[in-house]
Amino acid sequence: MGIHCYESEIGNNNIIVGGNYTVNQNILPKEKILNIFENMCNYYYLKNLSTYKLRLHNFILETLPYYEWTPKEEQDFFIVLGDTSEFLDEQISYYKAAIDVLPDSGDGKRLKWVYIKCKIIKFFRELFPVNN
């Protein structure tokens, strides 16, 4: 009896290195989620794979609603969401959220520069659209 959790699936059957994970309804303990998140981040940043980037992005989005996160943990998620997003508007939203969660954090200054850079890029894209 009980819920079985196979560490070989993540969300919608996205296969990842080191196994899969099913994240829903608090099946995995929060500590395990953070450990998975850290391992995925380390792998993504080492390999810089775009498909892995999308899996990490989806994993974070699927995990956020099911747990109570500290402001620092939320900020870490938002930072990586910004780094993994393919869309400029999403990046801007995530970086803004991370800055809002802990405005005076150690990463705050770096995040503000990245946020400003994204806003400037968006401004110039709107000002000088590329016609294909």
> Tell me: the pLDDT tens digits for 38-47?
888 888 777 7
Residue 103, pLDDT > 70, answer yes
For 30-73, how does the pLDDT look when each residue is reduced to its tens digit (9 = 90+)? 888 888 888 888 887 777 778 888 888 888 888 888 888 888 88
Residue with tokens 């802990």: 102
In the chain, the number of structural domains is 2
Identify the domain boundary among 68, 96, 121. Answer: 68
- The answer to whether the predicted template modeling score (pTM) of the entire model surpasses 0.85 is no
Summarize the confidence of residues 15-27 as an average pLDDT. Answer: 48
Highest mean pLDDT among 23-27, 60-64, 90-94, 102-106: 90-94
Place of tokens 């705050």: 108
Confidence of residue 8 (pLDDT cuts 50, 70, 90): very low
Which residue range is the domain that position 45 belongs to?
Answer: 1-68
Cα separation, 20 vs 6, in Å, equals: 7
Question: Do 27 and 57 share a structural domain?
Answer: yes
Residue 125's contacts (CB-CB under 8 Å, 6 or more residues apart) are 88
Residues 78 and 129 in one domain: yes
Question: In angstroms, rounded to a whole number, what is the distance separating the alpha carbons of residues 14 and 18?
Answer: 12
Residues 1 and 27 both lie in one domain = yes
- The verdict on 90 and 74 lying in the same domain is yes
Q: Cα 60 to the chain's mean position, in Å? A: 5
Q: Are residues 94 and 104 in the same domain?
A: yes
CA distance 35 to 24: 16
